[in-house]
Structure 1
Amino acid sequence: MTISMYKASIPVFIRTLNNLANILEKGAIYAETKKIDPSVLINSRLSPDMFPLSKQVQIASDIANKGAARLAGIEAPKFEDNETTFPQLIDRIHQTIYHLNTFKSEQIDGSEEREITLQMRDNTLSFQGMPFLFYFVLPNLYFHVTTAYDILRYCGVELGKADFLGQA
């Protein structure tokens, strides 16, 4: 049986980002209820050498957005990375989901062997489409969404595994 690259990417990205938006909503409600300046949560990090919540959300958005575009062989829309509030971060997630919903299966299916090259700060990474999706995009998406979840949980937001996994 062959795998549908579309089904293994776009619906997974959308579900994961919807779950992230719901997690951020809970963070906003928590800040309001506890009378905490939301910027305290948005600028929180798990360790001094890690990115804050805002950057974790921006990277999760970018990895899904750019990952889908690269699999389809097109340019991804760019975001300014200037979100400083929960509503702005949630809006960015919704914009990303809107963009992901524009992809059709025929744009992504068949990309298993597409050559994808990423210019990083210090080196260049080259992948074929399937390893790019399974060994780079999905792990990065889950890492940054998990880290955003963990930051808010560490700050006291009542989150559980069901918030990360979403509704079945």
Structure 2
Amino acid sequence: MPLSMYQAAIPPLLRGLANLSAILDKALLNAESRHFDAAVLLQARLAPDMFPLIRQVQIVTDTAKGCGARLAGVEIPSYPDTETGFDELQQRIARTVLFLQGLQAAQFDGSEARDIVMKFPNQTLNFTGQDYLQYFVLPNFYFHLTTAYDILRHNGVPLGKGDYLGGGG
């Protein structure tokens, strides 16, 4: 049986979100054990022109919920981007997981050919559902997930490849 769009999208997104949640937990525990305010990490970035950790997490969740909604043909949940702490980021991740888990595989049937249009201030991107998933969602999702991991690793959080890949990877 060929891989369905649901199978190609939702399980990897859920796994990445679970791994991100675990990585954030590990960062918080590490800050506590090193006796510094974990909030400092939320504004950490790899380079001056890159987004800080808090925005990286927001983009990971935005990418995941946008993917699920667009491919399932439902409205994208709106989050206000007002998180200021680790607990609020964890709540955002949890909301995204619940949203994705609520989608049914049948909603994705035929989505590989669905027209996906994304409007940005300076451009409009047009995809088929399959191209959207393969060439926009997954690279964007993993870029921001990796950047969040890298920000924390760069700031001394003892993370390894196993933390990024999660259980069984």
Asked if Structure 1 and Structure 2 have the same fold, meaning a TM-score greater than 0.5 normalized by the shorter chain, the answer is: yes
CA distance in 1, matches of 2:82, 2:27: 19
How far 1:109 moved relative to its partner?
2.6
Q: In the TM superposition, what whole-angstrom CA distance separates every residue of 1:18-70 from its partner, at most 9, and x where no partner exists?
A: 00000000011111111111121010000010000000000000000011100
Tell me which residue corresponds to 1:114. Answer: 114
Residue type of the alignment partner of 1:66 = G
DSSP-derived class of the 2:117 partner: strand
Superposition pairs of residues 121-140 of structure 1, within 5 angstroms: 121-140=121-140
CA distance in 2, matches of 1:146, 1:158: 15
DSSP-derived class of the 2:156 partner: coil
Number of equivalences: 168
2:80 corresponds to 1:80: yes
DSSP-derived class of the 2:112 partner: coil
CA distance in 2, matches of 1:35, 1:75: 43
Q: RMSD across aligned C-alpha pairs, in angstroms? A: 0.8
DSSP-derived class of the 1:117 partner: strand
How far 1:99 moved relative to its partner?
0.6
Superposition pairs of residues 2-151 of structure 1, within 5 angstroms: 2-151=2-151
Relative to the length of structure 2, the TM-score reads 0.97
Residue type of the alignment partner of 1:99 = F
CA distance in 2, matches of 1:109, 1:136: 19
Moved over 3 A (4+): none
CA distance in 1, matches of 2:109, 2:33: 45
Residue type of the alignment partner of 2:158 = E
Relative to the length of structure 1, the TM-score reads 0.98
Structure 1 portions without partners, runs of 5+: none
Residue type of the alignment partner of 1:36 = F
Identity score, percent: 51
Residue type of the alignment partner of 1:54 = I
